[in-house]
Structure 1
Amino acid sequence: MKVFSKKKKNITPPLPLYGWFGDYSSWEDASCETGGYHQANILKKTRNALLKIRDREAIYERDSVLFDKKEYPFPIIACLLHIAAKRENTLRVIDFGGSLGSTYFQLKDFLSPLNTLRWHVVEQPMYIEAGRQDFENEQLKFYHTIVESMAIEQPDVILLSSVVQYLAKPHDFLSELVKYEVEYLLFDRTAFISNGHDRLTIQRVPPEIYDASYPSWFFNEMQFMEHFSHYTLVADFTSYVASEADLYIDGQLAGYDKGFLLQKNAL
């Protein structure tokens, strides 16, 4: 009598509901399956959260979520203080894609000893309107474009935190960015692919943050850095957000978040 053993079936685990998915050939194709970053609910939740920060009713906000304990991006703090130390304790920042001033509110305790701090957020029109209405102060201002901000004051550094991967044409933007010839460029929480070419995905956000989805790039790091041939890499660092050290696409480990401080080469 033969005894047959049951073979174990290889069961593929289901894909997660939230995170990054797909490999899209164009921004238009990805956009057709998402709501985009212009959704009013994102602004509404971010605004309500930051009003609590402004009014000292809450301690810390990131991506519209309130926390009862602050997480500090110490590499960003170190980079900004390094720049300020070379400028007689003054610092002028353009925070591109800086929401309603989230990073400003997160860092201002560390930057308060500076003699002068100017923080210009460049954002979408609806964020500019909300920012000017509820959050502007002597240090924090809101502008529609980098050019508009620079017409007011020349920055020491342009900060780009978790923003370039959400642009439709990021390489065109980076090519324009270097033409401003700002001495320092500071990237943070920028998504890179572990292997291969740039990859365009869809990011689905957990509803406890906000109900949204939008196209999201993962960059080839070497190609990304080719834009900065006239800059020197001062420092690079991993994301201060622990969950972003490793990034998964379609449930598979595929990328990572990283930051850089770049300084323009002397003529």
Structure 2
Amino acid sequence: MKPVRKAVFPVAGLGTRFLPATKAFAKEMLPVVDRPLIQYAVDEAREAGIEQMIFVTGRGKAALEDYFDIAYELEATMRERGKSLDVLEPTRLPAGALASVRQQEPLGLGHAVWCARDIVGDEPFAVLLPDDLMWGNPGCLREMVDDYEEVGGNIICVEEVAPEKTASYGIITPGATSGNRTEVKGLVEKPKPEEAPSTLGIIGRYILQPEVMRILDNPERGAGGEIQLTDAMARLIGTQPFHGVTVGAKRYDCGDKAGFITANLALALEREDVGPAVRAFVADLR
């Protein structure tokens, strides 16, 4: 069983739900308290042992790569003023640990992942969607890697969703369960509630075998006229082990304004520096 060393971050989206803020600003750079969404996802990947981060970007996304680069002028100014550089340490990646490739057309998540095929090569890889901020200790991907090391194959993160919201998710057909793992017998993208095989929805974390890239070489358009990753994954079922796992980490949907605000509030309340002030503010609202 090959280890999972690479992770793909599909970050080419336009962030239209956060306009006008994202007109000239990558949505993945939106801060939750004082770290951008992309930092949380990269931190999670590093905790899970990922060695190479692969950003699938688009026009106007250079800030994502700049963020993980060395900022010489900023660091020199901070040193001159006697300020610690520790706050910048999480933004430093080892040489060669960040690669990027362009997704030139918005053709769906499956297409975004396929754009990274040459960098992924013949290895299993993770996919992390930064819009889904997964907050917990251990991190979501760390838990998934632990499961992968037990059963191999393909691992997707799943959670129970409200029946009326199945049309917003990829939904699994569940098989046998063992602890937090559920065998995946089938996958369907965005089914109507009356057609959904369960209420276990796929959220933005995956560990996939490289064979999915061969399927995406000859894609078919799925829901919304896009190339759906769910459809490609479904074709692996029966040929490789395939499991969905539920994790202890809490999910905040930061692709949604309410979810983004909730994430800021929840994570701020846990902080020693800002938590007391935020807690006092919330108390005054009652």
- Do these two structures clear the TM 0.5 threshold for a shared fold by scoring above it? no
TM (normalized to structure 2)? 0.31
Q: Max radius of gyration: which structure?
A: 1
TM (normalized to structure 1)? 0.32
Structure (1/2) with the larger strand percentage: 1
Structure (1/2) with the larger helix percentage: 2
